Structure 1
Amino acid sequence: MGMRLNEKLPLPAELKAEYPLLKEITEIKEKRDKEIRDIFTGASDKFIVLVGPCSADNEDAVCEYVNRLAKVNEKVSDRLMIIPRIYTNKPRTTGAGYKGMLHQPEPDQAPDLYAGIIAIRKMHIRAIKESGLTAADEMLYPENRSYLDDVLSYEAIGARSVENQQHRLTASGMDIPIGMKNPTSGDFSVMLNSVVAAQSSHTFIYRGMDVTTDGNDLAHVILRGGVDKYGTCNPNYHYEDLVRLLEMYQKMDLKNPAAVIDTNHSNSNKQFKEQIRIAMEIMHSRNYNPELKTLIKGLMIESYLEEGCQSIGNERVYGKSITDPCLGWEDTERLIFEIAEQC
């Protein structure tokens, strides 16, 4: 056979019973979820900053980073809603490379999914307990989100997954915001069709069960730039792109029109320092056009303790990305304050 069974993994309910949430953490999440919902429905005019490492590769480094964010959050919480990126699943274009802590709790060791599901749950819980900030993750594998669905306040569906039926249907059963990225081609229609699907009710098979969803009224778009057939990056954060998105939204019957703009990936051509300039251009466009100010709810920024990236090896720098390059902490802190000033 081409597939062999390595190990039977615990059901999500079993893992949650083994690593339960304290009442104080549940209360933190309920409060933050309400605040985030108010932003997407327009009841609050706070601006969202989704910020953190490309991949969460080390629990201590990630929690130190999130604790630093919490201190910044104390100074800007009247204008911003900071949501840490704690991404534990990583898509790989060719299937090769580090697939995230879910697969490899230790990046330089062999995959161990049993240890991985424990590691990611423990890390998310620790981050909330220490910082008071609930986080975002990527829904790379729809059935795996059940291991974390009681701790996350935001999820994203990546450019390679946004056309997948199971991702769209699973998103329709979530009760937190789900961001649909434009596909790698940059096609806005594909992205918006995913939002339509996620906001609708569906009946399908999920984890061996026949389920029906209510639809997710907080499903929205994330612009991350595209790549043409020649491999050239085509950003879509410029004013004209944002206006085009606004016009397309206005022609569709969608609840809570909203967009988050990713400042890295194909928008920056992975030139991580460009995220600073891109963020400021988006804030300018948003302030120039009142309709864009209503539509654009936040930014997504990749940053870590140390700037840049490194290969996986025995002498890794603590708090430096092992996937895409990220802003360092000093630039990140300065950028968050600059964003707050523009709100």
Structure 2
Amino acid sequence: MKRDLTETHTGALGRRVVAEAMPSPVELRGQLPGNACTVASVAEGRRMLTEILDRNDPRWVVIVGPCSIHDPVAALDYAQRLRQLAEDVSDTLVLVMRAYFEKPRTTIGWKGLINDPHLDGSCRMGEGMYLARDTLLQLGGLGLPVATEALDLFSMAYLGDLVSWAAIGARTTESQPHREMSSGLPMPVGFKNGTDGNVEVAIHAMGAAARSHTYLGMDEDGRMAILRSSGNPFGHLILRGGGRPNYDAVSIRHAEQTMIRHQVPANIVVDCAHGNSNKQPQRQPLVMMDVVSQIEQGNRSIVGVMIESFLEAGSQAIQPDRDRMKYGCSVTDACIDWHTTEQLVRQAHRRLRPLLAQRFLHTAA
């Protein structure tokens, strides 16, 4: 891909800014158009998720996959395994694959496949966006619904037509531009509680995103434009822990009461990683089974969970020599491995299968 560079100087200190041309969203979609199978997969994923959030489908959502995708080949290997598992548990669970291409950083670090697809600091974002879209097309071709984090305000213009579920992260839930963007996204959006554990910022975000907004953004031709959204009624809360874990029954009840007080739907997804596992991947199964127990005890608000999982357990540092890196192992947060993931999902399926229809009928009544 040709790199068309321009240079400008701004500010009294003459800071150097180099601008590199990007293809527009419509140009990239022209290079990598969605086929009938992928379009149908995305639409069906959105339909299932909105039906679950509306309480018209009694199943449970499991958003599962790598913390981030750094190797599309390994991600597709994982997806092929997940597809078979999804079919086996589809009467009770809707499996949605994590396909995260952007990573927020507290300080510094690798920012994801879009920002730095070669993992070497070259930051060829045009190539990264192309690779991300190509990966989403292949995942959709397998028939899997896909989840991603909407971090950069412009990325969803390039990728959003291939995504069934989006998350707004703990560092950006409080951001007004992200709330405005979410109000115009054509899929359900989960808002994470703040890094300090504050759930009200996410609940405020749900309320804001449910309303119409007028804001600056980018149109399909890559031009700045005034955008007008109609509002997104399918926002929900993601509990990811903060100063302490918040997946326990007391924390869930507090979140429910706060949501009711703010007049937003009491739909909760529990993130089994991050603050809820103290970033110890071996604790993720314990978190998930605790949440399953809450369903068995009558909880109605928890609609699903998130799990960070890859082919191999743990995480690894990025190496200059890629051949020295472990295949299918995360380069960001540590994950549980595929064997543990499959066992965990099947165990949840066995325990929830006899309960969900009854839970749905009770809710509908």
Q: TM-score, normalised on structure 2?
A: 0.89
Contact 2:52 2:303 in 1 (8 A): yes
- Name the counterpart of 1:112: 124
Residue 342 of structure 1 and its aligned partner are, at CA, apart by 2.4
1:318 to 327, 336, 353: 327
After the TM superposition, which residues 1-80 of structure 1 pair with which residues of structure 2 at under 5 Å, given as runs? 1=9, 2-80=15-93
- Name the counterpart of 2:201: 190
- Name the counterpart of 2:248: 238
- Name the counterpart of 2:137: 125
- Name the counterpart of 2:284: 275
- Name the counterpart of 1:230: none
Alignment pair present for 1:251 and 2:257: no
Largest Rg, 1 or 2: 2
- Name the counterpart of 2:156: 145
Root mean square deviation of aligned Cα: 1.1
Instruction: State how far apart, in whole Å, the 1-side matches of 2:156 and 2:16 are.
Output: 23
Number of residue-to-residue matches in the alignment: 331
1:225 to 217, 241, 244: 241
Q: Which runs of 5+ in 1 are unaligned?
A: 228-233
Instruction: State how far apart, in whole Å, the 1-side matches of 2:260 and 2:170 are.
Output: 23
Amino acid at match of 2:348: I
Residue 3 of structure 1 and its aligned partner are, at CA, apart by 4.5
Q: Which runs of 5+ in 2 are unaligned?
A: 1-8, 10-14, 219-223, 353-365
The Cα offsets for residues 305-336 of structure 1, whole Å up to 9 and x where unpaired, read as 00000100121000000111000010000001
Alignment pair present for 1:215 and 2:228: no
Instruction: State how far apart, in whole Å, the 2-side matches of 1:149 and 1:3 are.
Output: 32
Amino acid at match of 1:302: E
Instruction: State how far apart, in whole Å, the 2-side matches of 1:3 and 1:122 are.
Output: 33
Instruction: State how far apart, in whole Å, the 1-side matches of 2:161 and 2:202 are.
Output: 26
Contact 2:37 2:143 in 1 (8 A): no
Amino acid at match of 1:299: V
User: What SS is found at the alignment partner of 2:18?
Assistant: coil
Residue 74 of structure 1 and its aligned partner are, at CA, apart by 1.2
Identity of aligned residues (%): 33
